[in-house]
Amino acid sequence: MIITPYQTIGIIGGGQLGQMLTLAAKSMGFYVVILDPQENCCAAQVADEHIVTAYDDQKGLQLLAEKADVLTYEFENIPATALEEVMMTGYLPQGTKPLHLTQHRLREKQALAQLDIPIAPFQAVTTQAELETALQIIGYPAVLKTCFGGYDGKGQCVLYTPADVEKAQQLLPADCVLEAFIQFDYEVSIITTRSVTGEMTTFPIGLNEHRNQMLARTLVPAPCSQGIVNQVEALAQKLMEHHELIGTMAIECFIAGETVYINELAPRPHNSGHYTIEGCFVSQFEQHIRAICGWPLGDTSLRQATVMINLYGQDMPRFLQMVPELPTNAYVHCYQKGEMKVNRKMGHVTFIDTPQASAEKNAKIVYNRLGYCDSSTGGKRND
């Protein structure tokens, strides 16, 4: 099915990803309706219509399906079961399989293992007794993660020695997965898109740096060997084609020497792909819209070297003072959220330039003035 301009796209979720999807869709000539329980959410400020209701409200979802020619979602924590009934009447090219795969960490790990994709050794854990048994198999150090809902370092704890096991009490009893602690050199992510036609593209790989277990900045192109690039792209293609996934998928990877380990999947546009808005000929958001609407996918080539810095609530007062001094190669994105809470993503700023050293130099000035030191991530954490 081909969806053309003047038809309607329905987006489930109204956060900043929904906002940027909406902006891309509007520039392509679509009418956009979003569904989100929050009044005046990010996407509602730019969409044509806003259905204010819970993500699992069947009446609201059916109303969205009636209004839209094609449906999509902007994050993975939407109940898959709620969408299955909607698919009987509405057109959701992605289906619920990506949600089913990524909503549960253990299920995600098992799916990757079945494809012989390199991942950290893992064990399922629900109780203290199972944790102790799993630690005998995995060993120390290890990372305990909840299977549902964890993000930005939430819902997990690192166990370095038996003395740390007491920290796990905050996560148990619950569905969890215990992973071996990978001593990696750096983390990268790749944004890949597969169309309803089967056409597939990948964006240039980005190097991710974290602070306090949250993404702080992404540098593109990542300083990977061609061998690493080939491995990451091949793994992305294998995953997307085997599961016949549609739309945009972000894949986070740990790189240890010349070995690639997949850490996490996200069936949607991703924070580490924001650089594509200015850095590439097509953004991850437009590419996603193209994929679900049956259009030819765009050119993912990198225009120029790019650095993207996240802006969190605690950063905004200092950043706003810096705005008049920003260089001409800085592109500011603020998500129009309300309260500037600590660790809440409020926006990002992207620097593009040739050569990469120039983009990095300007980005470092902002990065350091926001209070970050200009060093690598360190920590080597599975988060």
**Structural contact between residues 168 and 131, judged by C-beta atoms closer than 8 angstroms:** yes
CATH number for the segment(s) 121-180:
3.30.1490.20
pLDDT > 70? residue 66: yes
Mind listing the pLDDT tens digit for each residue in 273-330? 999 999 999 999 999 999 999 999 999 999 999 999 999 999 999 999 999 999 999 9
Q: Cα(199)–Cα(287) distance, rounded to whole angstroms?
A: 11
Neighbours of 2 (CB within 10 A): 10
Second CATH level (architecture) for the domain 8-92: 3-Layer(aba) Sandwich (3.40)
**H helix or E strand, kind and range, residue 347:** strand 345-353
Per DSSP, 78 falls in state: S
pLDDT > 90? residue 368: no
Tokens 């740096």 belong to 209
User: 139: alpha, beta or left, given left = phi > 0 and alpha = psi -120 to 50?
Assistant: left
Averaged pLDDT for residues 242-259? 96
Neighbours of 322 (CB within 10 A): 15
pLDDT > 70? residue 152: no
Q: Cα(297)–Cα(254) distance, rounded to whole angstroms?
A: 28
Amino acid at 213: Q
Mean pLDDT, the chain, as a whole number?
93
Q: Which are the contacts of 244, defined by CB distance < 8 A and separation ≥ 6?
A: 97
For the chain, domain boundaries: 8-92, 121-180, 186-369
**Structural contact between residues 126 and 187, judged by C-beta atoms closer than 8 angstroms:** no
Helical ranges in 205-355 per DSSP H? 226-243, 276-279, 284-293, 316-322
Mind listing the pLDDT tens digit for each residue in 124-137? 999 999 999 999 99
Averaged pLDDT for residues 48-57? 97
Second CATH level (architecture) for the domain 186-369: 2-Layer Sandwich (3.30)
Q: Cα(226)–Cα(223) distance, rounded to whole angstroms?
A: 9
pLDDT of residue 371: 76
**Structural contact between residues 226 and 209, judged by C-beta atoms closer than 8 angstroms:** no
With cut-offs at 50, 70 and 90, classify the pLDDT of residue 378: very low
The closest of 305, 335, 75, 300 to 190, measured between CA atoms, is: 300
The lowest-confidence range among 1-10, 45-54, 63-72, 365-374 is 365-374
Q: Cα(267)–Cα(251) distance, rounded to whole angstroms?
A: 9
* Predicted TM-score (pTM) of this structure: 0.93
